[in-house]
Amino acid sequence: MVPLKSHEGKNEFILRVIFPFQPLSDWHFCHYLLKYIYREAAEGDEVLAKSNRNNLLEILLVSMRLGLTSFGGPTAHLGYFHEEYVRRKKWLDENSYADLVALCQFLPGPASSQVGIGIGVLRGGVLGGVLAFIGFTAPSAAILILFALLLQGMDIYEAGWIHGLKIVAVAVVAHAIAGMAQKLTPDKPTKAIALFALTATLFWQAAFTQVGIILLSAAAGVLIFKQNKEEQETAAEISFPLTHRFAVVCLGLFFALLIFLPFLKEITSSYWLTLFDRFYRSGSLVFGGGHVVLPLLEREFVPTGWLSKEEFLAGYGAAQAVPGPLFTFAAYIGAVAKGWAGGVFATLAIFLPAFLLVLGTLPFWNTLRRNPRIKGALIGVNAAVVGILIAAFYNPIWTSSILAPKDFALAAILFSLLAYWKLPPWVIVVLGAVGGVIF
């Protein structure tokens, strides 16, 4: 209700204009008429605010339901998103969804999480993107933090079920490589780039080897691959509720953190800053989905002694059993290193680059996606990703997990059940843990 006294001066002017012939004795009626109008306007504002709150709440609830039920990795997540956001909720159309998926596959980071963030931004602005991220990520992160805390104090080195989880990682990553290689290396030039990435990764195992491989592969893609101009001209437009200025700020923050965090950690020698830098850099340099974060995180945390190979692969195997993004594997590593606070901190650090990149590129996507050089670079990077992942499959996954013929037999069984019998990943994890105990 809007008080009448606050509008008396305004009422008098309006009444003179709208009701010039109204007797002064009847102005009391007119005051109440205007009072009713003001009340309706105020209630309209309240309805609009309530509608916005309902939209944000709906974004959180829908994304959390997906976070609790989306098994199967990034490709499966995109299928779940399409069913929920496009077919059921109709929050965006088919073309807009395809454009958003194309953008997130172009960017480094977890593609499915970035698509979810983008849909949240389209629906509810920046806050909607934040809530979509929280809803989709929190369930799996919480489960993996709890798993890490339960393992502390246990002798996991001799546990059969832990070794079974390591063999699960063999089957899951082999399956991911098979699918990615078929899609991302369809011809001889892309296969050559993948082979270069594989051999370079195994010969020169340095901190910045993978960054150099990605840059060289992108340059090769620009030189080798040409895109159809007709495809560029017919691509549909998509608009986002973000300004170019805000996008530039996000991109600037992304590159500033990537460049200056290594120097800051050396100057301050802060444990938490070092932890943040390692996860942030890993999240910034991953192309190709959640499985590819494995070699980056292994290089950052296993050789430096933050956790053992057994702990690392046990957590990666457990990450296959939970729904949601594979990047929440970082929550497990953070919890092993520094308890539940470390798990939450690591989750935010590894996802922050993805969030900044989505917000920073959405307004420019319509221009970027029509650039043939950008498309060629993307082809080269995707091919290199396959080679990097094959190198990680050999070391540390294969060398740490396949120690006897029976291990290879179990890995072959799990791979077949996953690839040919199409069993859900969580079933593969359970069977792997049981098989590890039996064998």
Task: Report pLDDT for 290.
Answer: 66
pLDDT score of 48 more than 70: no
In the chain, what is the greatest distance between 2 CA atoms, to the nearest angstrom?
102
Cβ contact 148:336 at 8 Å: yes
pLDDT score of 19 more than 50: no
Q: For the ranges 289-293, 344-348, 434-438, which has the lowest average pLDDT?
A: 289-293
pLDDT digits (tens, 9 = 90+) for 358-399: 999 888 876 776 778 877 887 888 788 788 778 878 877 788
pLDDT score of 228 more than 90: no
Task: Report pLDDT for 89.
Answer: 86
pLDDT score of 338 more than 90: no
Whole-angstrom distance, CA of residue 314 vs CA of residue 156:
9
pLDDT score of 175 more than 70: yes
Task: Report pLDDT for 352.
Answer: 94
pLDDT score of 37 more than 70: no
Q: Calculate mean pLDDT across residues 341-351.
A: 94
pLDDT score of 27 more than 60: no
Whole-angstrom distance, CA of residue 265 vs CA of residue 39:
57
Q: Which residues contact 266 (CB under 8 A, 6 or more apart)?
A: none
Whole-angstrom distance, CA of residue 7 vs CA of residue 25:
19
pLDDT digits (tens, 9 = 90+) for 316-326: 878 877 888 88
What mean pLDDT value characterizes the chain? 79
pLDDT score of 191 more than 50: yes
- The reported pTM is 0.69
Task: Report pLDDT for 24.
Answer: 47
Task: Report pLDDT for 117.
Answer: 93
Q: Can you state the angle between helices 293-301 and 271-284, rounded to 10 degrees?
A: 160
Within 13 Å, how many C-alpha atoms sit on residue 13's CB side?
Answer: 3
pLDDT score of 7 more than 60: no
pLDDT score of 33 more than 60: no
